[in-house]
A = this chain, B = another copy of it.
Amino acid sequence: MAQPFQNIDRLSLNQITTNRWNMKEAVDGCARAGVPWIAMWRDKVADAGLAASKRLAQDAGLRVSSLCRGGYFPAATAAERRERIDDNRRAIEEAAELGAEVLVLVCGPAADRDIDGARAQVADGIAEIVPYAQQCGVKLGIEPLHPMYAGQRSVIVTLEQATTMARRHAAHEVGVVVDVFHVWWDPNLYREIARAGEDGRILGFHVSDWIVPMPDMLLGRGMMGDGLIELRRMREAVEQAGYTGPIEVEIFNQAIWDTPGDEVVATMKQRYLEHC
């Protein structure tokens, strides 16, 4: 088993974890706590302004592990799908400006009952934005979501599926993001982590925990150590598969959101060292 971390050099605060903090508060919170990475959300970037967000992070010496999120490709009409592409192009521009390591793609649900059709629309959408992402120097990371979100957030629901889709493109163009909450249940998980790593496709690693009973389907993620996920085993697996980049703590949880941010960050650091 991998050794515990001795420092937080790879720790990143995904700012959804401290959802009540605006961009300045999140950057300041990371700086106070010595957290070297931040993952930004587009709504919070928009609230603060793109240039200001970049400056805040730079001035604090923070690096941007990812921008959340592009994707949501399927739609009922060609016009809507075009709008989604346009929005993804803006997300790519923002990721480039922020110097984000990766633009995370949450691929979106089907517009109807045709899940295979929606999956084809995802593939088409990604193919459409890859050239622009390359031009801007931005890598795209397909994040498979937990199958319980298949109806509302993503028709891409397994790491196998995400990697297979990424492989339609070069490894420096499109990869995958491994989020423990979304993939921990998968009987093929470790095989698929290894496969994603074969040509360096793992572009991100997100941690949280699966708590039971789950208080809410969307806002029910737990702090590392509070649930069932074999965090260190998965961290070791992604490392063996070649991923040594930032590790984002991404927790959607109302109780954690209601806790003062500095307290959340302190707990996050401690749990990261203990459990990841």
Binding site for B on A (CB under 8 A): 109-110, 113-115, 119, 146-148, 150-152, 157-158, 160-161, 184-188, 210-214, 217, 227-230
Contact = CB atoms under 8 A, between A and B. Distances in A.
A115 B230 contact: yes
A188 to B, nearest CB: 8
Contacts of A228: 110, 113, 115, 151
| Number of chain copies forming the complex | 2
Contact of A113 (B157, B158, B230): B230
A34 B46 CA distance: 60
Contacts of A147: 146-148, 185-186
26 contacts: A110-B228, A113-B230, A115-B184, A115-B228, A115-B230, A119-B187, A146-B147, A146-B148, A147-B186, A148-B214, A148-B217, A150-B184, A150-B185, A151-B210, A151-B211, A151-B228, A152-B212, A152-B213, A157-B185, A157-B186, A157-B187, A158-B186, A158-B187, A160-B187, A161-B187, A214-B217
Contacts of A217: 148, 214, 217
A243 B157 CA distance: 27
Name, among A151, A152, A161, the residue most crowded by chain B CB atoms within 10 Å (CB to CB): A151
Contacts of A150: 184-185, 210
A230 B116 CA distance: 10
A142 to B, nearest CB: 13
Contacts of A211: 151
A227 B150 CA distance: 12
Nearest to A155: B185
Given A119-B187, A147-B146, A113 B214 contact: no
A227 to B, nearest CB: 7
A188 B116 CA distance: 11
Given A146-B148, A157-B185, 5 more contacts: A115-B228, A148-B217, A157-B187, A158-B186, A214-B217
A234 to B, nearest CB: 11
A150 B114 CA distance: 26
A224 to B, nearest CB: 12
Contacts of A110: 228
Nearest to A220: B217
A208 to B, nearest CB: 13
The 6 A-B pairs with the shortest beta carbon distances in the complex, nearest first, are A150-B185, A148-B148, A147-B185, A151-B212, A161-B187, A147-B147
Contacts of A151: 210-212, 214, 227-228
Nearest to A145: B185
A35 to B, nearest CB: 26
